[in-house]
A = this chain, B = another copy of it.
Amino acid sequence: MRVYNFSPGPATLPVEVLEQAAKEMVEYKDCGMSVMEMSHRSKMYEEIHEEAEILLKELMEIPSNYKVLFLQGGASQQFAMIPMNLYKNGKADYVLTGEWANKACKEAAKILKTTVIATSEDKNFSYIPDIKEFSPDADYIHITTNNTICGTRFLKIPDTGNIPLVADMSSGILSEVFDVSKFGLIYAGAQKNIGPAGLTIVIIREDLPENEYASKLPSIFQYKVHAKANSLFNTAPTYSIYMAKLCLEWLKNQGGVAGIQKVNEAKAKLMYDFLDNSPLFSGIADKKYRSLMNIPFTTGDDAKDKDFIKKAAEVGLVNLSGHRLVGGLRASIYNAMPMAGVEKLVNFMKDFETGEGQG
């Protein structure tokens, strides 16, 4: 029996997508082979590749002066590739809103001079800090739109004027409507809202990777090389791109990003309303900046949290432990988590609470 999987990533996928993938595993349509066996230079694979790109462009309303890249290595590889490719003055501004923003900043500091222009580290990243000013000669300003570990998100995307805004959108991409034109570069590991691990999406304004520093890099690290080759410079992670295509089709059928955003808001509201009225459980992040995707919460008692995780797993509600940096509990409710999963979780929390009251 399928469980409800609240993992922060790799995460739950739409069951309809998995069923279709299972059906097409041995033979894709009338091709006589699996997608996994297709040459990345074959017409049948290229169709899948193109469709995935077209769907992403359509769903995110990506302007025509942006390129979509299908890369590998996760967001972690982008932590390095971004400063390597956008290097001009050798300076970049970082906003620290969590562990992943921290890591992005530390890795960039191996390439260029980083300036932390805002941070919420003083309160264990439980809020989003205001950006008061940024360096006028920064090559870019980096933010993390949704923070998987501490469960916060930017409600308003900062206006950075002429300086390119770079966003790690790994855990927020496709969950709510973003105006792509506000960003110079968006990147995301696929394993939360796009598809399986092993695929990384980069959306880049096409003028950005044109600089001298980047052109001396090994080809595989140059955005320009991948852009020119439509992400087929070398063998792409073909099966992961096929799975992403299926997930994007599924998303389109849910009413696209605007449609899923409504569902995501309703799912998050159900959780947050319950947490705000619960005598036992409470949310951890600052209410003002709450994430739609990742909800850290706690009973305030470590042993009770552990008991909750164990009992929840017994009824098919799994991967509810909090990240070690925050502790407690966490429910990640990405696009593919149905409302029914959140309802079951909230009902179970109610029962657990009652049981505790009686105990």
Contact = CB atoms under 8 A, between A and B. Distances in A.
A64 interface: no
Interface string A230-253: 000111111110010000000000
A15 interface: yes
Contacts of A72: 72-74, 77, 198, 237
Given A26-B18, A76-B234, A220-B76, A2 B33 contact: yes
A137 interface: no
A220 B73 contact: yes
Given A25-B25, A39-B8, A32 B196 contact: no
Contacts of A216: 110
Contacts of A199: 198
- Copies of this polypeptide in the complex: 2
Interface string A296-316: 000000000000000000001
B318 A32 contact: yes
Interface string A65-93: 00000001111110110000000000000
Contacts of A111: 218
A80 B32 contact: no
A283 interface: no
B235 A191 contact: yes
A12 interface: yes
A233 B80 CA distance: 15
A294 interface: no
Contact of A3 (B12, B33, B39, B236): B33
B7 A34 contact: no
Contacts of A74: 72, 220, 234-235
Interface size, A (range): 35 or more
A286 interface: no
A233 to B, nearest CB: 7
A219 interface: yes
Given A79-B218, A197-B237, A238-B196, A37 B10 contact: yes
Contacts of A218: 79-80, 107, 110-111
Nearest to A13: B37
Nearest to A236: B197
Contact of A198 (B2, B12, B75, B198): B198
A327 interface: no
A145 interface: no
A8 B38 CA distance: 10
Interface of A: 1-3, 5, 7-13, 15, 18-19, 21-23, 25-27, 31-34, 36-40, 42, 72-77, 79-80, 107, 110-111, 189, 191, 196-199, 216-221, 233-240, 243, 316, 318-319
